[in-house]
Amino acid sequence: MKIAVVVQRYGADINGGAELHARYIAEHLSRHAEVEVLTTCARDYVTWKNELPPGEERVNGVVVRRFPVAHPRDVGRFGRLSHVVFDTTHAIADEERWLESEGPTSPALVAHVRKSADAFDFFIFFSYRYYHAWHGARAVPGKAIIVPTAERDAAIGLSIFAPVLAGVRALMYNSLEERALIEHVTGRTGPGVVVGVGSEIPDRPDPRRLRKRFDLRRPFAIYVGRIDENKGCAELFSYFERYATMYPHGLDLVLVGTNVLPVPKHPRIRHLGFLPDADKFDALAAADVLIMPSRYESLSMVALEAWALGKPVLVNGQCDVLKGQAIRSRAGLYYENFDEFAEALYLLEATGPLGGILGQSGRAFYQAHYAWPVIERKYLDMFERLTREPGTPMAPRPGWFARRARTARPGAEVVAAAPSGAVRPR
Amino acid sequence: MGEFNVRSDSVDVDEIMRQIRARIREKRGADYTEQELQQLAQVKLERFIDPKGIRSDLVQQFRRHVATSPSLPNFAFGEDTLYETHRGPVAAIRKLLRPILKLFFNPDRLTAALHIQSQVNEQAQERLARQEAREALTYEVIHNLTVEVTRLGIETHNLKMRVESLSSRLDFSERRARSMEGLTPARSAQPQRPQPSRQPAPTAPAAAAVPGAPESAGPLNASSGGRPDAPAGSEDGGNGERRRRRRRRRRRPGQTLADRQASESSSQSGADQDQSVDRADDGWSDEGGDAAETGDDRGGDSIDAGPSDDSSDQ
């Protein structure tokens, strides 16, 4: 079996959520099938500038073929078109212009996908919202599998995505909430499975080494990821400062990751910067609890890693996916305001009544659903199923006049009308 | 407040969250539940009430934003406004051609729309003026709140310092009480223990009646100023105070009592004595130092006996 993984960026040092997800999947599927990665020369997800050389290379034993991006993103144009398609009634042509302006616009990559359709059994496209996935899936609809990594934002409400998401052979979801949202918006009834992704958890992380290296003496809660307002970090800082006043002997806050947002100067907030994987796992093992303040997540890999290490998680309850995972895993609490944040964080301290119990549940949840043998088996089962079952044709692109009729609803309005909330275990 | 009853095999996150919310409600009290609709406004207010969260330049910042907007020009639109001109012949021509213009479009609708727009502009201007007046009032409220919060902050700070002071005094009193308690059995055992320097003078006859009583009571009595009628406690206290004053005089700045005594005792005694002095000094230097100043006139017994008792406690 020969599989192509098509993703917007790829590399051992590229750590975006979907990109890391794609790399892990490619590397693990390469044990069962011949895998080739098709990607762009871009490294930066904002500009999509060509920074890596086009052509073939190997990354951790997997063949990677890179294609140039035709033009970098024009941020101003992208912003204007985003407003048009998300907030106003518009035409499908506007949405296609928005997709083209979002990038990474790589016609060469799409042409290669179309040309090599017969060479691969399946094409796994990552991130439904980018140029490569939409055009690529339309190029090989009978062999396309999409890992949507969809968040509850206005993009999923755009009308160009519904026929593509409904018409591909299969969708590999990250969570039950993502599945419910996509099935509602697109009306999809075809094959799909909630898979997610595993992680490379070290056998013996060494929390003492990290504590010694960074002189961390007090118990702490940890945040791992880009320190950005979009990730909920501004609210996290505000809440933590109030918590620190309420609980002078409570947890400190340790931040791991590069910062876009300035980190407040507070005696109980430490920013360690970007850490390599080994140090990141040491830091997670040293922490009492992981905090995930983001409102928009399709799957938090860091939360899974914390659970794998037996640590409970405190998540933003306004993110359906995180809240649902906390409920289903029985390994985390959620907050929707400051009072809940402070009370839950207090209860999740390692010496508190809940930290240890929820941590154990998290470890069991990870082993049951996100250990690599489980993930690999779900992909292989899906390939077998798709090989047996015939596919349904994808709806064609609308004609010239239909694309220009201003009848498409604002994306934000479509998403707002979709049912929300965490999916609870039956 | 309810405790959490969670078993590892039956964790229900929703149930835990319900318990957490119940605890929050308990903490807040019943009154708050009636005002939940106004929570947003309360949250905003909290920022001003919290003295630690208040910005010192809040009033200046607010003042900067409170400015009266200049009134925008407005036009009154009537039926003929579109055709008005100060040139007479042009006005005549326009009037003449008006029916022809009406063949192409309906200018009355345009006039009506612009007339309505003019009224809307007027109303908007009035609303803006009212809003700016309200902002001035809000400014007053925030200004007063800021002043009040600052005052409360200072008062809280003073009260905090006062509590700390009282706490240290209480600590000292407790130590002193413990020392006194330790001293009482020592006194009751004095007839059996040969401690000449601590024996009270006025009871000399009784002491003399005890076989083996030390004779140094006489010189000690003489050194207390030759007051044969002075009570025992005061004499001993006076002696203790004198000794303490001497100690203080001999202590140089930057030198602790332990340093001083250690240097003195190095020529007199061995390592065991040094150790006991160090421990005694620890007992005083932590909190008794300042407190001893305030408690100077409360008797020397405790001060003599205090350090040794404290050191045994620590």
The pLDDT assigned to A146 comes to 96
The pLDDT assigned to B83 comes to 82
> How many Å apart are CA A199 and CA B158, to the nearest integer?
54
What is the per-residue pLDDT across B244-293, written as a single tens digit (0 to 9) for each?
666 555 544 444 444 444 455 444 444 344 433 333 333 333 333 333 33
Phi, psi of A64 (to 5 degrees): -125, 130
**Same-domain status, A194 and A214:** no
Using a CB-CB distance cutoff of 8 angstroms, which residues of chain B are in contact with residue A330? 11-13
Q: Which of A82-86, A133-137, A273-277, B210-214 has the lowest mean pLDDT?
A: B210-214
Mean pLDDT of chain A: 92
Across the interface, of B7, B13, B24, the residue whose CB is closest to A333 is B13
What is the per-residue pLDDT across A20-37, written as a single tens digit (0 to 9) for each?
899 999 999 999 999 999
Number of domains forming the structure of chain A: 2
- Is A326 in CB contact (< 8 Å) with chain B? yes
The pLDDT assigned to B211 comes to 40
Residue A148 lies in a domain: yes
What is the per-residue pLDDT across A370-396, written as a single tens digit (0 to 9) for each?
999 999 999 999 999 999 988 888 999
**Same-domain status, A212 and A314:** yes
Provide the 3-class DSSP secondary structure of residue B256: coil
- Is B16 in CB contact (< 8 Å) with chain A? yes
Q: Which residue has the higher pLDDT, A161 or B38?
A: A161
Across the interface, of B3, B13, B28, the residue whose CB is closest to A330 is B13
The pLDDT assigned to A314 comes to 95
Q: Which of B65-74, B157-166, B186-195, B231-240 has the lowest mean pLDDT?
A: B231-240
Asked if B4 and A326 come within 8 Å (Cβ–Cβ), the reply is no
The pLDDT assigned to B288 comes to 36
Q: Which residue has the higher pLDDT, A412 or B307?
A: A412
Per-residue pLDDT band at B66 (split at 50, 70, 90)? low
Residue A127: alpha-carbon gap to chain centroid: 8
**Same-domain status, A86 and A180:** yes
- Is B9 in CB contact (< 8 Å) with chain A? no
- Number of A/B CB contacts below 8 angstroms equals 45
**Same-domain status, A193 and A44:** yes
Across the interface, of A326, A353, A360, the residue whose CB is closest to B13 is A326
Q: What are the distances in angstroms from CA B163 to CA B28, B51, B132, B159, B168? A: 26, 19, 45, 6, 9
Using a CB-CB distance cutoff of 8 angstroms, which residues of chain A are in contact with residue B8? 357, 360-361
Using a CB-CB distance cutoff of 8 angstroms, which residues of chain B are in contact with residue A353? 3-4, 6
Q: What are the distances in angstroms from CA B140 to CA A79, A112, B55, B59, B135? A: 40, 68, 16, 10, 9
Q: How many CB atoms lie within 10 A of CB B203?
A: 15
Closest-CA distance, B40 to chain A, in angstroms, reads 11
Residue A393 lies in a domain: yes
For B157, counting Cβ atoms within 10 Å of its Cβ (0-12 exposed, 13-18 middle, 19+ buried), the class is exposed
- Best to test chain B binding among A243, A354, A424, A426 (most B CBs inside 10 Å): A354
What is the per-residue pLDDT across A279-312, written as a single tens digit (0 to 9) for each?
999 999 999 999 999 998 878 889 999 999 999 9
Asked if B11 and A358 come within 8 Å (Cβ–Cβ), the reply is yes
The residue of chain A nearest to residue B53, with distances taken between CA atoms, is: A242
> How many Å apart are CA A294 and CA A292, to the nearest integer?
6
Closest-CA distance, B20 to chain A, in angstroms, reads 7
The two tokens of residue A235 are: 């609210």
Contact B219, B196 (CB under 8 A): no
* pLDDT surpassing 90 at residue A52: yes
Q: Which residue has the higher pLDDT, B60 or B230?
A: B60
> How many Å apart are CA A240 and CA A253, to the nearest integer?
8
Using a CB-CB distance cutoff of 8 angstroms, which residues of chain A are in contact with residue B24? 339-340, 343
The pLDDT assigned to B289 comes to 36
Residue A51 C-beta-side C-alpha neighbours within 13 Å: 13
- Is A347 in CB contact (< 8 Å) with chain B? yes
* pLDDT surpassing 60 at residue A122: yes
Asked if A340 and B24 come within 8 Å (Cβ–Cβ), the reply is yes
Nearest to B28 by CA among A239, A252, A342: A342
Using a CB-CB distance cutoff of 8 angstroms, which residues of chain A are in contact with residue B21? 340
For B174, counting Cβ atoms within 10 Å of its Cβ (0-12 exposed, 13-18 middle, 19+ buried), the class is exposed
Nearest to A59 by CA among A23, A113, A94, A88: A23
What is the per-residue pLDDT across B255-266, written as a single tens digit (0 to 9) for each?
444 444 445 544
Contact A128, A163 (CB under 8 A): no
**DSSP labels for B200-221?**
-STTHHHHHHSTT--TTHHHHH
Asked if A343 and B24 come within 8 Å (Cβ–Cβ), the reply is yes
- Is B33 in CB contact (< 8 Å) with chain A? no
The pLDDT assigned to B33 comes to 47
Q: Which residue has the higher pLDDT, A369 or B211?
A: A369
Contact A135, A260 (CB under 8 A): no
- Is B52 in CB contact (< 8 Å) with chain A? yes
What is the per-residue pLDDT across A162-176, written as a single tens digit (0 to 9) for each?
999 999 999 999 999
Provide the 3-class DSSP secondary structure of residue B308: helix
Q: For B147-151, what is the mean pLDDT?
A: 76
Per-residue pLDDT band at B296 (split at 50, 70, 90)? very low
Q: Which residue has the higher pLDDT, B10 or A315?
A: A315
Residue A422 lies in a domain: no
Q: Which residue has the higher pLDDT, B207 or B178?
A: B178
Sign (positive or negative) of CA dihedral B113, B115, B119, B124: positive
Across the interface, of B6, B20, B27, the residue whose CB is closest to A357 is B6
> How many Å apart are CA A48 and CA A104, to the nearest integer?
6
What is the per-residue pLDDT across B2-58, written as a single tens digit (0 to 9) for each?
445 555 557 788 888 998 888 887 776 544 444 554 554 455 444 444 545 555 565
Asked if B11 and A353 come within 8 Å (Cβ–Cβ), the reply is no
* pLDDT surpassing 60 at residue B90: yes
β-bridge mates for residue A125, sequence order: A6, A146
Residue A424 lies in a domain: no
Q: Where are the domains of chain B?
A: 81-164
> How many Å apart are CA B305 and CA A44, to the nearest integer?
75
Q: What are the distances in angstroms from CA A365 to CA A236, A283, A284, A287, A332? A: 26, 21, 17, 19, 11
The pLDDT assigned to A180 comes to 92
Closest-CA distance, A217 to chain B, in angstroms, reads 25
Q: Where are the alpha helices (DSSP H) in chain B?
A: 13-28, 30-34, 39-49, 58-65, 88-104, 107-188, 204-209, 217-223, 232-250, 257-268, 271-283, 289-294, 300-313
The pLDDT assigned to B209 comes to 37
* Residue A250, domain extent: 207-368
Across the interface, of A334, A358, A424, the residue whose CB is closest to B17 is A334
The pLDDT assigned to A411 comes to 94
For A263, counting Cβ atoms within 10 Å of its Cβ (0-12 exposed, 13-18 middle, 19+ buried), the class is middle
Q: How many CB atoms lie within 10 A of CB A194?
A: 17
Contact A177, A423 (CB under 8 A): yes
**Same-domain status, A240 and A380:** no
Closest-CA distance, A422 to chain B, in angstroms, reads 11
Closest-CA distance, A173 to chain B, in angstroms, reads 23
Closest-CA distance, B157 to chain A, in angstroms, reads 15
The pLDDT assigned to A236 comes to 95
Asked if B20 and A333 come within 8 Å (Cβ–Cβ), the reply is yes
The pLDDT assigned to B185 comes to 66
ipTM: 0.80
The pLDDT assigned to B23 comes to 84
- Best to test chain A binding among B5, B7, B11, B13 (most A CBs inside 10 Å): B13
Asked if B52 and A245 come within 8 Å (Cβ–Cβ), the reply is yes
- Is B34 in CB contact (< 8 Å) with chain A? no
**Same-domain status, A229 and A163:** no
The residue of chain A nearest to residue B25, with distances taken between CA atoms, is: A339
Per-residue pLDDT band at B176 (split at 50, 70, 90)? confident
Contact A320, A421 (CB under 8 A): yes
Burial B250-271 (b: 16+ CB within 10 A, else e): eeeeeebbbebbbeebeeeeee
**Same-domain status, A16 and A158:** yes
The pLDDT assigned to B188 comes to 63
Mean pLDDT of chain B: 61
What is the per-residue pLDDT across A72-115, written as a single tens digit (0 to 9) for each?
999 999 999 999 999 999 999 999 999 999 989 999 999 999 99
* pLDDT surpassing 60 at residue A148: yes
The residue of chain A nearest to residue B43, with distances taken between CA atoms, is: A338
CATH assignment of the domain containing A97: 3.40.50.2000
The pLDDT assigned to A306 comes to 94
Contacts of A106 (CB under 8 A, 6+ apart): A40, A67, A68, A69, A70, A131, A132
